[in-house]
Amino acid sequence: MDRGPALLGTQGLLAGKSFTITMEGLRIGREVGNEVHIDDGGVSRQHARVLLHNGAVWVQDAGSRNGIFVNGERVPDHKQMKVGDQLTVGAHIFEVVPGASTTGPVVPPRAAPAQKPAAAPSAAPSAPKWKIWPFVLVILLVGSFIACIGLVGSGGDDGAASAAPAAGGSAYSLSTMLEPAPGTVVPPAGAGSVAAPVPATPTVADALAVVAGADPSASLANVPDAPPGTSSRELVELAQGMYDSGRLSEAKKQYQMALKIDAACAICKVRIERIEVELAAKVQQQFDAGMRYFDSMQFSQAVGAWETVLMLVPEPTDPMHVRAVEYLQKAKDASRGR
């Protein structure tokens, strides 16, 4: 069976490495987590995406700063590629190569060795053969014993600290993955401070689900229609300007309006996904900051953090919006009662 076409690094940090192109696509960029990770300052965090669509290879510019080039020509949006084409990302060059066969060459069987004449039976008894199953059983028993020790050990001081959030609720787990915004001083929770309200179901999936959806086109029903006569390309250009100025929610709406006009706008889907992830991170960061401010009795700062959450997630029925409204009211009540 043959694999699909692949990207082969011919120049740069990934020279000699091959990446199979799939229908899900290969993300190329400086950010860790991309299928094609290039640790180079001249490459954007989300630089480009190469995917297989209807049997053809397509490349999309994911909003990179320095652009992408196919055979030396800049690609402003997306372009179909063929075997032999060269893709340039910064100082790194890749070539589209045909898929490699997963079945190796057929090797003819060797001739069976000539049978030696049977030796005369020896009077001495043969050595006993070792059986492997007793060793496997011993290994399984030792592994189970070590696992039990680990579970018992987790009940100590460290285990109590990690289990405490589960008992009484905790801030969203994404807070351990995000750094505070530049210039934001978030004090640690101190002993004897006011107990902070906590979310009901703190899970990573719940946090990401605040604004990020699995399918960018799934929520288009509530997106307003574009003004008459407006083209999808005009909306994409407008959205890019909003994104560059930090207006993420407005940029997302413009991309959704463009996708509503042109369902085949692949670059719209790519950029909507990226904006949703960035929005989720900012919402989670502000929510966790509000929790820590409340815990240190800095109620005005907590109010500001949760009001930012409401601005980023304006839908009243969104779970994060509902929680932010609840804790915002508690912070205001606590501030008046001081």
Task: Tell me the pLDDT tens digit for each residue of 131-190.
Answer: 565 666 667 776 766 665 554 444 444 433 333 333 333 333 333 333 344 444 444 544
How far apart CA 113 and CA 177 sit, in angstroms, is: 62
Banded model confidence at residue 297, pLDDT cuts 50, 70, 90: confident
pTM, two decimals, is 0.35
Task: Tell me the pLDDT tens digit for each residue of 31-66.
Answer: 999 999 999 999 999 999 999 988 899 999 988 999
């004090």: which residue's tokens?
Answer: 187
How far apart CA 31 and CA 312 sit, in angstroms, is: 24
Is 290:320 a contact under the CB 8 Å cutoff? Answer: no
How far apart CA 30 and CA 7 sit, in angstroms, is: 17
Has residue 195 got a pLDDT over 70?
no
Q: Which of the pair, 286 or 163, is modelled with greater confidence?
A: 286
How far apart CA 53 and CA 48 sit, in angstroms, is: 16
Return the pLDDT at 158: 40
Task: Tell me the pLDDT tens digit for each residue of 214-263.
Answer: 455 556 767 888 888 888 888 888 888 888 887 888 888 888 888 888 88
Residue 171: strand, helix, or coil = coil
Give the strands of the sheet with 26-29, arranged side by side: 36-37, 26-29, 48-53, 56-61, 78-81
Residue 198: other Cβ atoms inside 10 A: 16
* Cα-Cα-Cα-Cα dihedral sign, residues 85, 87, 91, 92: negative
